[in-house]
């Protein structure tokens, strides 16, 4: 088995899905797939409406278990990056609006939970800022 596996899906002549999975990386393969597809969708490299390969086909191309790809797809769908249209397949969604909507829902849920826990506004905001720094690094405070 190769350390790195690549998948290329020539859905459209001008757009190709290039995913690399490093089996030796500390990051789980499903997360590598999720992160790469999400980044390409958010950057516009994968346009809205781009049809992704089937779970089984993509797993075969990458040399991974179908459950690994399915887990990545489920996470991407939960984040609003992709949408499944039944038998028609899985497509890149209009991620900007969906991502903002889901972020707003998560923020609302957090605010309600922080309030129930008895945190004041400053403490709740400080917790968010700490979490953002942990994920984004110092750029979160800028």
The predicted-structure confidence for 51-84, as pLDDT tens digits, reads as follows: 999 999 999 999 999 999 999 999 999 888 999 9
Q: What is the pLDDT of residue 12?
A: 43
Q: What is the pLDDT of residue 9?
A: 46
Q: Is residue 18 within 8 Å of residue 12, measured between CB atoms?
A: no
Buried b (16+ CB within 10 A) or exposed e, 30-59: bbbbbebbbebbeeebbeeebbbbebeebb
Distance CA 97, CA 31 (A): 23
Distance CA 36, CA 21 (A): 10
Give the mean model confidence (pLDDT) for residues 87-94. Answer: 89
Listed in order, strand segments (DSSP E) in the chain are 4-12, 15-22, 51-52, 82-84, 90-92
Claim: this prediction has a pTM higher than 0.75? no
**For residue 50, which phi and psi values (nearest 5 degrees)?**
-65, 130
Give the mean model confidence (pLDDT) for residues 84-109. Answer: 81
**With bands split at pLDDT 50, 70 and 90, how would you rate the model's confidence at 115?**
very high
**With bands split at pLDDT 50, 70 and 90, how would you rate the model's confidence at 137?**
confident
């Amino acid at each position: 088995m190769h350390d790195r596996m690549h998948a290329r899906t020539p859905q459209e002549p001008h757009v190709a899905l290039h995913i690399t999975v490093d089996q030796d990386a500390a990051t789980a393969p499903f997360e590598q797939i999720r992160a790469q597809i999400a980044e390409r969708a958010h950057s516009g490299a994968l346009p809205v409406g781009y049809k992704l390969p089937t779970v089984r086909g993509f797993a075969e191309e990458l040399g991974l278990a179908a459950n690994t790809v399915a887990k990545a797809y489920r996470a991407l769908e939960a984040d609003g990056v992709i949408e499944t249209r039944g038998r028609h397949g899985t497509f890149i969604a209009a991620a900007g609006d969906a991502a903002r909507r889901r972020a707003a829902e998560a923020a609302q849920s957090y605010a309600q939970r922080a309030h129930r826990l008895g945190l004041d506004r400053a403490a709740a905001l400080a917790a968010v800022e700490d979490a953002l720094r942990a994920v984004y690094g110092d750029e979160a405070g800028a």
